[in-house]
Amino acid sequence: MNEQLDLSHLQQWIGREDVAEDILTPALVDKFDATLGGAGHAVRPGDVAPRLIHFCLCQPAIAMTALGDDGHPSRGGFLPPVPLPRRMWAGSEIRFAHELRVGDTVHRRSRVADVTAKSGQSGILCFVTVDHAISAAGVTAITERQTLVYRAETSAQQTVPAPETAPAGGTVETIDMSPTLLFRYSALTFNGHRIHYDRPYALTEEGYPGLVVHGPLQASLLIRLATRCRGGTPPTSFAFRGVSPAFDGQLLGLNAGRITSDALELWSAPVGGSVAMRATARW
């Protein structure tokens, strides 16, 4: 492993920080809600912002010349220059201490917390852990521990598990994973990763059978389901992890298990397919 991945070099990025600032505008909330199936109510300054809209904020404006072939920023900079070509958002653990509100000036401070590697069935995997603190008016509203995974180029199809139909939850909703939905979410998050909107690239370069549904898009749909299950009360913490890819052209099932006094297990899965994402909401 060490001959193919200089882990000691990559671990020199641990402790590196990045800061960014953005404004949580009414227009962003309108577009976010419209994309995720919101009610379309009038949004006013001071309103509580929806959970996970911070994924749309403080995104770096990388020049086109500084993007890699996959649409991601080129290696190096804030994140360590992991030489494995495929990067995915594996999951996050998020706590909501205070609400973000429409009109807030939002600050994000990010820190590389850890860099690890292991060998798996698909080859070498490198995990980069990033801690984010999102604040407004000098108060930390959200803390998030995000895990990114890097893998070898040839392992895309190997990451798809053998079909095993996911169970149905006590509450089940379905949503059409259309190319338009994926494109709009990419635009909201300023995400240039081509697997989400460039079908020839996704099929021929990364070996997927279709456009890949964003992990944070699934998480955003699941946390909205969790909120509805609790009568409109959003969770105070939310954790999610990707299990297997989901693709466009499918109805994605959003499932909620049995709700307890303080927790709810959720999962997404294509109708008739295997689990794509697991999540836990807590109050």
Burial code of 252-283, b = ≥16 C-beta within 10 A, e = fewer? bbbbbbebeeeebbbbbbbeebbbbbbbbbee
**Residue 162: its pLDDT value, please?**
58
- Tabulate helix, strand, coil % of the chain (nearest 5): 25, 35, 40
Low-confidence spans in the chain with pLDDT less than 50: 1-3, 155-161
At 236, list the tokens: 């105070």
What architecture (CATH level 2) is domain 7-282? Roll (3.10)
- Separation between Cα atoms, residue 128 and residue 130, nearest integer Å: 6
Using alpha carbons only, how large is the chain's radius of gyration in Å?
A: 19
**What residues have CB less than 8 Å from 249, skipping those under 6 apart?**
177, 178, 210
State pTM to two decimals. 0.92
At 205, list the tokens: 């370069």
Burial code of 129-158, b = ≥16 C-beta within 10 A, e = fewer? bbbbebbbeeeebbbbbbbbbbbbeebbee
- 75, with CB counted inside 10 A (0-12, 13-18, 19+), is middle
- Separation between Cα atoms, residue 188 and residue 106, nearest integer Å: 16
| CA terminus-to-terminus distance, the chain | 41
Residue 2, SS3 per DSSP: coil
**Residue 153: its pLDDT value, please?**
75
**Residue 39: its pLDDT value, please?**
64
242 phi/psi in degrees, rounded to 5: -75, 140
- 30, with CB counted inside 10 A (0-12, 13-18, 19+), is middle
Query: Is the Cβ–Cβ distance between 91 and 121 less than 8 Å?
Result: no
**Nearest alpha carbon to residue 114 among 149, 142, 153:** 149
**Residue 72: its pLDDT value, please?**
86
**Residue 204: its pLDDT value, please?**
94
- Separation between Cα atoms, residue 134 and residue 1, nearest integer Å: 35
- Separation between Cα atoms, residue 56 and residue 25, nearest integer Å: 11
**Residue 220: its pLDDT value, please?**
98
- Separation between Cα atoms, residue 38 and residue 213, nearest integer Å: 19
